[in-house]
Chain A
Amino acid sequence: MSASHITKKLAMLLGLLLVPGIALADYALNMTQGVTAISKDIYDLHQLVMWICTIAGILVFAVMIYSIINHRKSKGAVAAQFHESATVEVIWTVIPLIVLVAIAVPATKTLLEIEDSSKSDVTIQVTGWQWKWQYEYRDQDLSFFSNLSEDSNEARQLGADPSLLTKANEYLLDVDNPIVVPVNKKVRLLITSNDVLHAWWVPEFAVKRDAIPGYINESHFTAEKTGTYRGQCAELCGKDHGFMPIVVKVVEEAEYTAWIKEQKAAIAAAAGDSNKTFTQAELMKRGEGVYKASCAACHGAEGQGGGPFPALKGSKVATTGSIEEHLKLIIAGKGIMPPFGPQLSDADVAAVTTFERNAWGNNTGDTVQPAAAKAAR
């Protein structure tokens, strides 16, 4: 009987014991095997160590239970008075040592594979931000941000309608811009951070590496199966640590090439927006989208602020303050507010500034064009 078979049996038993009637699929009990050679090695290593521990545990517990049942006063047991034996002490020091060596050998082998990032086909720089990921395809001149998807973001607000949870696609594990990589190609990741620590983790690739400001950490994976793989930030990074998921789409080579082309075209189109002039209504609509994705997490869905983050509704900056100051604040950041200049295009900065100056009764009537945002940089 294979190990996974046994765990399935156990799962069924536990599922039946605890809450009858709930789908068994929801009681995932064990680590994923994943879709890379390394993730499978890690799974095997996990199984090995887990079973060694389980068997050792059963042996020790069996002795204790036997003793508890038989060596009790109520059964007339008389206490023996032995209390040391150098021989047994040596035996039960040496046996664990041998077991440890048996674990260390395969562990060392797997670790050295993990640490070999050479000969990669695609290099992606991953930068953690509070609270989103930035991906830069180093060989492609392609860079974008990846935020929690809008439906999950709405559903995760305090006191939101519970039905939104099931309506959201892959609640908390879906993003607006997933990364796309080719199947069976070695993808090298260069992982860093712009603010605090984060950790980039996709269980199916068995890649978990901290994103640290001032450091570039290396990792890699070679996915052997196409599909969509999801992960999360694994290092506490502040308020919205739980809300910066990772989505990786593994596709065939041709599809990957097409995707790159499409992305580059979209970026070129967006760059053109910097020189355009928009109507106020266009800017408000675009600005609302930008606000939801980039600002609402701290300043609140209604601009009401929260904790250390000031309200924008009726604030000086967004009403009587000058437009230039407002733009500069968004572009350069202030205190714990990160700079949004690198994340947002001129048109996005202009749109969100327009939105903040007119939403929630701020009603300044101002219209801010991309040219002004460009000038403020």
Chain B
Amino acid sequence: MSDHPTGIKRWLFTTNHKDIGTMYLWFAFTMLFIGGAMAMVIRAELFEPGMQVVNPNFFNMMTTLHGLIMVFGAIMPAMVGFANWQVPLMIGAPDMALPRMNNWSFWILPFAGTMLLAPMFMGGDFMAGQGPAFGWTFYEPLSGQYDKLAFFIFAVHLLGFSSIMGSINIIATILNMRAPGMTLMKMPLFVWTWLITAFLLIAVMPVLAGAVTMMLTDKYFGTSFFDAAGGGDPVLFQHVFWFFGHPEVYIMILPAFGIVSQIIPTFARKPLFGYASMVYATAAIAFLSFIVWAHHMFTVGMPAAGELYFMYATVMIAVPTAVKVFNWTATMWKGSMTFEVPMLWAIAFVFLFTIGGFTGLMLGVVPVDFQYHDTYFVVAHFHYVLVTGALFAIIGGVYYWLPKWTGNMFDIKLSKFHFWISTISVNVLFFPQHFLGLAGMPRRIPDYALQFAEFNQISSIGAFVFGVSQLLFLYIIIKCIKGGEKVSSEVWEDAKGLEWEVPSPAPYHTFATPPEVK
């Protein structure tokens, strides 16, 4: 500990997986608040009919950047942060396999994020909305109309570099650095889900890079990949984008499955039910994610045979997903459950993610998708999956491991309040959006017909409460870092796994001598 730099240099030059994990998590948390602030602007504008807060272009910029920031800035880096902290601790490794690359893959992120957000502040009139305003899916030809497109493209490239390097590191660590005796089928499920996620990332980030490179040459070098007037094909863009985009969805949710699969057995005091089938289900979901991409584009006018294939393949995903939910339920069944804060979030995850899973099944059925597509029904669906799914798992994971990281127990009373207010408000926020979509409200519109007013207002109220309650989360974390009741190395009663065998707080270097796994 004495021979490493202190102050800012410690963070700039660190190769320690715990430091880097911490930086990833704080970066993600910062982005969560930036993306959240944008969501507040969106919900403020939609609070009532008519345009009151921002102009339509600024509104589109908010929805675009909200999506990009939350996906690439908040959820993905948070998951990588967990991987950095927990994978070495859970497999009994002293650090990540490639510590210098680990430093680099983190430090790219703040620059990528800055490059993504910078155009907002260019060109004088801030309120005109100078940033990207073409949706997080950046469909051509609309995105090609944007005059500062290069900033966006290079930001995506940098994010891609970071993700690919992070994934290589995670795979190398898991495959090479497991403690003696820890066979693959003995790894904690969180490690398994990240191993599979890392392969997904390596497979699809280059596809995304290809898509934005084609955009770049279309825009600045006169090619016509996506320009119909030059013999190109705008639909090709969507195929390429969603070939990346659908696995991307699972990249965000598989590690969340992993976190929940760690939390539930601990507080049910019972081993995870169907460990092997959980591993196979995760692999099956990952495989299926490559062959269902066009279900995001049922309305582009595919031949009926194509639509049928993508419908059948898509609804198949319900099978391994259902297996997972059943396994979590069976883990709780006849357990001896207690409801500490991480368990509350994990249980909320299982309930609410399941709702998002059901609406996903509905969306996969092509004829009805023609009515749901691009409405608030879709918005409700993916927020149930990503907010009450991925984000809830992240928050649950923070509460689960925070005492291990800091050595202190967080404020339990306050964190229970944080759980209840978040869970109630998030449903007030997103549940009515199902009704709005079914009633015919398109997504990505800054203003709406009067019949949509009531549910939008309810949804906005939920949003404001949910948004503000996350400040409480920040307060709880800072308070816990500063001090609190000291915890044992086990932290939670009878918690199983290598991370609970090292002292709390986890020392700067752990497992210098590999532990023996029986």
Contact = CB atoms under 8 A, between A and B. Distances in A.
Nearest to B303: A115
B316 A100 contact: yes
Given A77-B337, A111-B307, A306-B57, 11 more contacts: A26-B453, A27-B435, A29-B438, A45-B368, A64-B329, A73-B336, A165-B49, A210-B297, A234-B299, A242-B448, A306-B125
A107 B319 contact: no
A287 B451 CA distance: 34
A73 B323 contact: no
A238 B135 CA distance: 9
Considering the complex of A and B, which 4 residue pairs feature the smallest CB-CB distances, nearest first?
Answer: A214-B228, A242-B445, A28-B439, A217-B301
Contact of B438 (A30, A93, A110, A158): A30
B51 interface: yes
A13 interface: no
7 contacts: A61-B354, A73-B338, A77-B335, A89-B274, A172-B447, A242-B444, A242-B445
Interface string A182-217: 000000000000011101010100111110111101
B358 A111 contact: no
A156 B51 contact: yes
A156 B50 contact: yes
A160 B49 CA distance: 11
Contact residue range for chain A?
35 or more
Interface in B350-374: 350-351, 354-355, 358-359, 361-362, 365-368, 370-371, 373-374
A81 B494 CA distance: 14
Given A60-B329, A64-B350, A79 B335 contact: yes
A306 to B, nearest CB: 6
Contacts of B277: 84, 89
Interface stretch (B138-146, B467-475, B509-517): B138-146
B128 A170 contact: no
B312 to A, nearest CB: 6
Contacts of A104: 311-312, 315
A157 B54 CA distance: 10
Given A68-B337, A236-B135, A110 B450 contact: no
- The listed residue with most A CB atoms (<10 A of its CB), out of B54, B272, B347, B438, is B438
Interface in B483-504: none
A46 interface: yes
A84 B275 contact: yes
Does more than half of chain A's interface fall in helix, strand or loop, or is it mixed? Answer: mixed
Interface in B38-57: 49-52, 54-57
Interface residues of B, number: 101
B371 A206 contact: yes
Contact of A46 (B269, B355, B362): B362
B424 interface: no
Interface of A: 18-19, 22, 26-32, 41-42, 45-46, 49-50, 53-54, 56-57, 60-61, 63-64, 67-68, 71-74, 77-85, 88-89, 92-93, 96-97, 100, 103-104, 107-108, 110-112, 114-115, 155-160, 162, 164-166, 170-173, 195-197, 199, 201, 203, 206-210, 212-215, 217-218, 231-243, 306-308, 336
B229 interface: yes
Given A104-B312, A111-B304, A306-B55, A160 B365 contact: no
Contacts of A108: 308, 311
Contacts, number: 298
A203 B447 contact: no
Given A88-B330, A158-B51, A212-B300, A60 B446 contact: no
Contacts of A170: 449
| B interface: dominant SS | helix
B365 A206 contact: no
Contact of B336 (A57, A79, A100): A79
Nearest to B63: A236
Nearest to B347: A68
Contacts of A49: 361-362, 365, 368
Contact of B435 (A29, A42, A214): A29
Given A214-B228, A239-B60, A308-B147, A171 B49 contact: yes
Contacts of B142: 196-197, 236-238
B322 A96 contact: yes
B354 A18 contact: no
B207 interface: no
Given A115-B304, A236-B60, A83 B355 contact: no
A45 B336 contact: no
A64 B367 contact: no
A64 B307 contact: no
Contacts of A306: 55, 57, 125, 128
B50 A162 contact: yes
Nearest to A46: B368
A160 B51 contact: yes
Given A26-B454, A218-B301, A233-B442, A61 B334 contact: no
A238 B373 contact: no
A22 B454 contact: yes
B355 to A, nearest CB: 7
Interface string B314-339: 01101100110110011111111111
Contacts of A214: 228-229, 232-234
A242 B333 CA distance: 49
Given A49-B362, A208-B370, A232 B319 contact: no
B268 interface: yes
A336 B374 CA distance: 24
Contacts of B355: 57
A242 B10 CA distance: 50
A107 B318 CA distance: 16
B329 A67 contact: yes
B322 A77 contact: no
B234 A203 contact: no
B451 A111 contact: no
Given A84-B274, A112-B304, A307-B128, A215 B448 contact: no
B440 interface: yes
Nearest to A306: B128
B340 to A, nearest CB: 11
Tell which of B57, B435, B449 has the most Cβ of chain A within 10 Å: B449
Nearest to B333: A67
Contact of B323 (A84, A92, A110, A171): A92
A171 B453 CA distance: 12
Nearest to A84: B274
Contacts of B330: 88
A6 to B, nearest CB: 15
Given A22-B454, A72-B336, A73-B337, A42 B371 contact: yes
A239 B61 CA distance: 10
A78 B325 CA distance: 23
Nearest to B231: A214
B426 to A, nearest CB: 16
Contacts of B318: 96, 100
B315 A72 contact: no
B454 A53 contact: no
Nearest to A112: B304
